[in-house]
Structure 1
Amino acid sequence: MRALEPDDWQVYREIRLAMLADSPEAFASRYEDVVRRDETEWRRVLTDCDHFLAEQDGATVGGAGLVEHEGELNLIGMYVVPDHRGGPAATLLVAAVADRA
């Protein structure tokens, strides 16, 4: 589990596109729009709010974010790759967001 920084934009791009391709109905963004973002936009996303990455054996297995909106903190963009659902990744992502909040 780790917090992402703007220099992690490529790994975040990879998991974000996986989220949108796998479960498009679960997110407000559309794959077709997000895939066109350039490096500057990806870095901005990682600057505007906190994002966390779950990894196992060097592979990305999930991600989640924390955003403030109108004075409330919200978990956003929660996703775990299908092969790791039911394992500890989701719990660890929620805990990382809660700890940061």
Structure 2
Amino acid sequence: MRLRRLEPDDWECWRDMRLAALSDSPDAFASSLAEEGDYTEARWRDWIRPASQLQVVVEGGAGMVGAWKAEHQPAVELYSMWVHPEWRGRGIGDLLVGEVLDWAAAQGHQRVALWVAEGNVAAERLYRRHGFQMTDERQPHPGYPGVFERAMTLRLDAARTG
């Protein structure tokens, strides 16, 4: 499988993958298909700014992931992780997580964090395989009342040195 890091001109690819993800797994994301379906081209292009973040797709529509680092945050945030149902269980998630970790390390960042919905056992297993640890941090899911998310973090120097 070939991974592709997206540039602003790839906005349609990111849009199509993101809308497919929202359609397939609406409770996994903080946004909705209805909300993002109305985004303009300018908004999609603005989302993809290589200097401050990363968007990666697996060619052929198999999956996607994003990552970004806000100035005031101590860690890179992995977000928009999604694997097409036909490709689940084939290592696509591992490729995508690995690409985020490689990018974060190359940027000199020390930590990667993410939010995972409670009960999403497959996602937790994927992240744990890469060294992420569950924290005590918990928050209500932004789009689904009654659903909570848990924070997971990974210290890159520890993950790379054992």
Larger Rg, first or second structure (1 or 2) = 2
Q: Which amino acid aligns with 2:93?
A: A
- Taking the aligned partners of 1:39 and 1:46, their CA distance within structure 2 comes to 11
* Correspondence for 1:37 among 39, 44, 48: 39
Aligned sequence identity (%): 38
Q: Which residue of 2 aligns with 1:60?
A: 61
Tell me the alpha carbon deviations over residues 19-73 of structure 1, each in whole angstroms, 9 at most, x when there is no partner: 1011110000111110001110000001152100112xxx111000111141311
Q: Does 1:20 align with 2:22?
A: yes
**1:81 paired to 2:97:** no
Number of matched pairs: 98
What's the C-alpha RMSD, in Å, of the aligned pairs? 1.0
CA distance in 2, matches of 1:85, 1:65: 18
Relative contact order higher in (CA < 8 Å, ≥ 6 apart): 1
Q: CA deviation at 1:74?
A: 1.5
